[in-house]
Amino acid sequence: MIQYLYTAPSGVAVDILRLDTVDSLAPGNKWFKLLPNILAAEKAGAQCVISFGGAYSNHLHALAAVGKARGVATVACVRADADSVLSPTLQDAQDWGMALHYLSRSDYRRRHDAAFLAELKAEYPSAYFIPEGGSNALGAAGCGNIVDLIPGAGRAYATVVLACGTGTTLAGVASTIADGVSVIGIPVLKAEKFMAADISTLLTALGGDRGNWRLDHRFHGGAYARLPPSMAEYMQAFEHQYGVLLDPVYTAKASYAVQSMVDNHEFAQGSRVLLIHTGGLQGRRGFGLDVGA
């Protein structure tokens, strides 16, 4: 589960937590985020679980898989045109029984509006709604269990680094990691204006902010799902050297960030760093890349 990657000349040693290998149905951070939500939906007697995402969303893909496995009906509110060709992600989701509810770009932008959600709730009266990216307190609490996979709750590490889309996974990890470990989140989109506040809100819901985390906004590469050539080259070399596939949207950027920080001597000499591989390999298909064996 934890794989050694390299020791830099400064003595900084980097390991990787392979969440990409934990669950074939909902790999990466997904099972952790979704399970508490699915249990809540079941407890509430919801007739279906609805969430939001784009055509290559790892979150929708995993929700469809978990829904099928647990016999829970799922609906995806997708940012796409009904007449566009189905992405492999949505094709899988549909094959697993997920209903696709298409939203135009302008409607999709309203996904957090109370009025828009009220309209959707009227359409699906007994549905359980999960926000885009599984970003709610239950999802964050579930991500706290990721730390169970790290011996000693991570106390051997000075720093844990992971990619952030909404910051929910970081909130969970920061809430349960051993005292003294600092957690660095690498936003994969331009998120200076909102992500830290969103994480604080989640941490408050989980019982309080321990002040053991920060975001490093240098590595988003310009936009969500945009991988600049330097990062793409790095990703290819990494995969070749370590035999670990990365996803171009999340862990490629986090891994590049770790390497840059090692090269710039930003970690204390001789300290240990844990990079979390949060999965998302199915999304490689959107980049014309294979998803491995």
Ligand X SMILES: Cc1ncc(COP(=O)(O)O)c(C=O)c1O
Residue 237 CB, nearest distance to ligand X (Å)? 20
Told to check if 252 binds ligand X by CB under 6 A, we report no
Told to check if 58 binds ligand X by CB under 6 A, we report yes
Candidates 104, 64, 110; CA nearest to 84 is: 104
Cα distance between residue 6 and residue 167, in whole Å? 27
Told to check if 282 binds ligand X by CB under 6 A, we report no
**What is the DSSP track for 116-181?**
HHHHHHHHSTTEEE--GGG-SHHHHHHHGGGGGGSGGGGTT-SEEEEEESSSHHHHHHHHHSPTT-
Taking phi over 0 as left and psi of -120 to 50 as alpha, with beta for the rest, 70 belongs to alpha
Q: Which is nearer to ligand X, 168 or 259 (CB)?
A: 168
250, 257, 261, 274: residue in contact with ligand X (rule CB under 6 A): 250
Q: Is the dihedral of CA 290, 147, 163, 270 positive or negative?
A: negative
- Interface mask (CB under 6 A) for ligand X, residues 120-139, using x and -? -------------x-x----
Cα distance between residue 168 and residue 177, in whole Å? 14
* 8-state DSSP, 27: T
Residue 7 CB, nearest distance to ligand X (Å)? 25
Q: Which is nearer to ligand X, 13 or 203 (CB)?
A: 203
Told to check if 74 binds ligand X by CB under 6 A, we report no
Angle, vertex CA 32, rays to CA 7 and CA 283, nearest 5: 70
Told to check if 221 binds ligand X by CB under 6 A, we report no
Tell me how crowded residue 208 is: count the other CB atoms within 10 A of its CB.
9
Told to check if 169 binds ligand X by CB under 6 A, we report yes
Told to check if 142 binds ligand X by CB under 6 A, we report no
Q: Residue number with the shortest CB distance to ligand X?
A: 280
Q: Which is nearer to ligand X, 159 or 168 (CB)?
A: 168
Residue 79 CB, nearest distance to ligand X (Å)? 15
Yes or no: say if 51 and 61 are a contact pair by the CB < 8 Å rule.
no
Q: Which is nearer to ligand X, 36 or 279 (CB)?
A: 279
Told to check if 51 binds ligand X by CB under 6 A, we report no
Told to check if 167 binds ligand X by CB under 6 A, we report yes
- Cβ contacts of 91 within 8 Å, gap of 6 or more: none
Q: Select from 35-43, 98-106, 166-174, 284-292 the region that touches ligand X (CB under 6 A).
A: 166-174
- Interface mask (CB under 6 A) for ligand X, residues 5-44, using x and -? -----------------------xx---------------
Q: Is the dihedral of CA 56, 217, 260, 140 positive or negative?
A: negative
Yes or no: say if 171 and 143 are a contact pair by the CB < 8 Å rule.
yes
Residue 281 CB, nearest distance to ligand X (Å)? 8
The residues binding ligand X (CB under 6 A) are 28-29, 58-59, 133, 135, 163-170, 247, 250, 278-280
